[in-house]
Amino acid sequence: MNIEIKVDDITLDTIVGKVVGFDEDGDAYETGQRTVADLVAEQIVKKLVADQRYPTLRDMVLEIRKEEIRAAVRPSIDEALARPIYKTNTYGERTGTETTLAELIADEARKQLGEPADRYSNGKGTVLQQAIRTEVQAAFKAEIAEAVKQVREQVSKELSDQMAEHVVKAVATGFRK
């Protein structure tokens, strides 16, 4: 008596189960199939997520993904910035001459810097003037703070020297009596 068992080749694409979903009435329906690859991937993810090094690994993978996306998108951005375009009116009709997106962005930036900082009062100057004013004030504050610190140290030293002299005189007078 010979018992022969034949097992078909098992690959990662071999279907091993069904994926079942339920509709609003609670009736089951098949939404897909599970393969050996799905089960293997599920086990790998479970072990990987349980590892204490997972957060660091996840951050590294996300950073690599960002860099790869940037590298893939960069040529398209460069082309879009350099490719000639035409200004249009509200109807989409061409107006003016050929330009580039980079020139339009630079023009808009210049226009924004020249805008009033407060649309209701011109007394505050333009956005650019206000930014420069803020930076100058910050620089002056830093310089003044440093000067005050140096003067304070100098005065403190002089006072401590004078106080030391007074203490020495008082002690000397006390000993003489």
Domain that holds residue 163: 125-177
Q: Is 119 part of a structural domain of the chain?
A: no
Q: Is 16 part of a structural domain of the chain?
A: no
Claim to verify: residue 61 and residue 108 sit in the same structural domain: no
> How many domains, in total, are found in the chain?
3
Tell me the C-alpha distance between 60 and 66, whole Å.
10
What tens-digit pLDDT sequence spans the chain (177 residues)?
888 888 778 888 888 899 999 999 999 999 999 999 999 999 999 998 888 888 898 899 999 999 999 999 999 998 988 888 888 888 988 888 888 888 888 888 888 888 888 778 777 788 888 888 899 999 999 999 998 899 888 888 888 888 888 787 887 887 776
Q: Is 96 part of a structural domain of the chain?
A: yes
Q: Is 3 part of a structural domain of the chain?
A: no
Q: What residues does 118 pair with on adjacent strands? A: 121
Compute CA distances 39 → 1, 10, 14, 26, whole Å. Answer: 37, 13, 11, 26
Q: Is 21 part of a structural domain of the chain?
A: no
